Amino acid sequence: SQQGEEDPQALSIQEGENATMNCSYKTSINNLQWYRQNSGRGLVHLILIRSNEREKHSGRLRVTLDTSKKSSSLLITASRAADTASYFCATDYSGYSTLTFGKGTMLLVSP
C-alpha cells in the first residue's frame, strides 16, 4: 500500500499550546497536502507543499517536508478549541493518478 501514515493517531492538548502532527510516505511525490475534517463533515484543504519545497506557512500553520526521510509535519501554533478536528495528509505520488490519503490524526483542543 502507498498509503501515508499520520502520527500520532490522536493528540489532546490545551488551548494556547502547539500541536504537531507527522506524516510518513513511501515513494517519490509531486506534492503533499494537508486536510482538516470536522466531525462528520467534508475535508477542507489547508496547505500544499511541493516536492522541491522544504517549508511553507499559512497563518498559524507551518508545514515542513523532508524528502530524504519521506516525511512531513504540520504544526499548528497557539491552538484554539475550534482547531479540534481530524487532520489528514494526502500524497500526490509520481506516476499515480490520484491522491492517497492517510488515516488521520484526531486533535482535541481543550479550553
Partner 1 sequence: ETGVTQTPRHLVMGMTNKKSLKCEQHLGHNAMYWYKQSAKKPLELMFVYNFKEQTENNSVPSRFSPECPNSSHLFLHLHTLQPEDSALYLCASSQVLSAGEFSYNEQFFGPGTRLTVL
Q: Which residues bind partner 1 (CB under 8 A)?
A: 3, 30-31, 33, 35, 40-45, 48, 88, 90, 92, 97-99, 101-104
Q: Name which of 41 and 57 has its Cβ closer to partner 1.
A: 41
- The one-letter code for the residue type at 43 is L
Contacts of 37 (CB under 8 A, 6+ apart): 43, 44, 85, 86, 87, 88, 104
Contact predicate 56/62, CB 8 Å: yes
CB of 88 to partner 1, least distance (A): 7
Q: Name which of 2 and 18 has its Cβ closer to partner 1.
A: 2
CB of 15 to partner 1, least distance (A): 27
Q: Name which of 97 and 111 has its Cβ closer to partner 1.
A: 97
Backbone angles phi, psi at 42, to 5 degrees: -75, 165
